[in-house]
Amino acid sequence: MFDSLSDRLTGALKDLRGKGRLSDADIDRTAREIRLALLEADVSLPVVRAFIARIKERAKGAEVSQALNPAQQVVKIVNEELVGILGGETRRVQFAKNPPTVIMLAGLQGAGKTTLAGKLGHWLKQQGHTPLLVACDLQRPGAVSQLQIVGERAGVPVFAPDPGTSIGQTGDLGTVSHGDPVAVARAGVAEARDHHYDVVVIDTAGRLGIDEELMGQASDIREATQPDEVLFVVDAMIGQDAVATAEAFQSGVGFTGVVLTKLDGDARGGAALSVREVTGQPIMFASSGEKLEDFDVFHPDRMASRILGMGDVLSLIEQAEQHWDAQQAEAAAQKISQGELTLEDFLEQMQMLRRMGPIGNILGMLPGANQMKDALSQVDDKQLDRVQAIIRGMTPAERDNPKIINASRRLRIANGSGVTVSEVNQLVDRFFEARKMMAQMSGRMGLGGGSRKTN
Give the DSSP H or E segment for 283: strand 283-287
400 touches ligand GDP by CB under 6 A: no
- Residues 283 and 304: their CA atoms lie apart, in Å, by 13
- Residues 427 and 417: their CA atoms lie apart, in Å, by 13
Binding residue per annotation — 112? yes
Near ligand GDP in 286-315, by CB under 6 A: 287-290, 294
- Residues 417 and 385: their CA atoms lie apart, in Å, by 10
Of the candidates 84, 110, 254, 367, which one interacts with ligand GDP according to CB under 6 A? 110
Near ligand GDP in 269-288, by CB under 6 A: 287-288
Cβ nearer to ligand GDP, comparing 261 with 337: 261
Give the DSSP H or E segment for 105: strand 101-106
Q: How far is the CB of 113 from ligand GDP (least distance, A)?
A: 3
Cβ nearer to ligand GDP, comparing 10 with 250: 250
Binding residue per annotation — 84? no
Of the candidates 265, 358, 416, 446, which one interacts with ligand GDP according to CB under 6 A? 265
262 touches ligand GDP by CB under 6 A: yes
Return the DSSP state at 93.
P
Give the DSSP H or E segment for 199: strand 199-204
- Residues 314 and 299: beta-carbon distance below 8 Å: yes
Q: Return the range that interacts with ligand GDP (CB under 6 A); candidates 40-48, 214-222, 262-270, 375-383.
A: 262-270
Binding residue per annotation — 225? no
Binding residue per annotation — 203? yes
Cβ nearer to ligand GDP, comparing 115 with 225: 115
Cβ nearer to ligand GDP, comparing 289 with 443: 289
Binding residue per annotation — 108? yes
Show the DSSP H helices in 97-180 as ranges. Answer: 113-126, 143-154
Q: How far is the CB of 153 from ligand GDP (least distance, A)?
A: 12
Q: Return the range that interacts with ligand GDP (CB under 6 A); candidates 24-32, 45-53, 156-164, 259-267.
A: 259-267
Cβ nearer to ligand GDP, comparing 7 with 264: 264
Burial 35-58 (b: 16+ CB within 10 A, else e): bebbeebbbbeebbeebbebbbeb
Binding residue per annotation — 301? no
169 touches ligand GDP by CB under 6 A: no
How many other C-beta atoms lie within 10 A of the C-beta of residue 108? 23
Using DSSP's 3-state secondary structure scheme, residue 165 falls into: coil
Using DSSP's 3-state secondary structure scheme, residue 308 falls into: coil
Cβ nearer to ligand GDP, comparing 72 with 109: 109
Size of the site for ligand GDP (CB under 6 A): 18
220 touches ligand GDP by CB under 6 A: no
In Å, how far are 169, 174, 183, 380, 390 from 177, measured between CA atoms?
A: 9, 10, 7, 52, 60
In Å, how far are 100, 117, 147, 209 from 231, measured between CA atoms?
A: 16, 11, 17, 18
Give the pairing of strands 131-136 and 257-261.
Answer: unpaired
Cβ nearer to ligand GDP, comparing 220 with 264: 264
- Residues 150 and 115: their CA atoms lie apart, in Å, by 7
Binding residues for GTP: 107-114, 203-207, 261-264
Catalog residues that contact ligand GDP under the rule CB under 6 A. Answer: 107, 109-115, 206, 261-262, 264-265, 287-290, 294
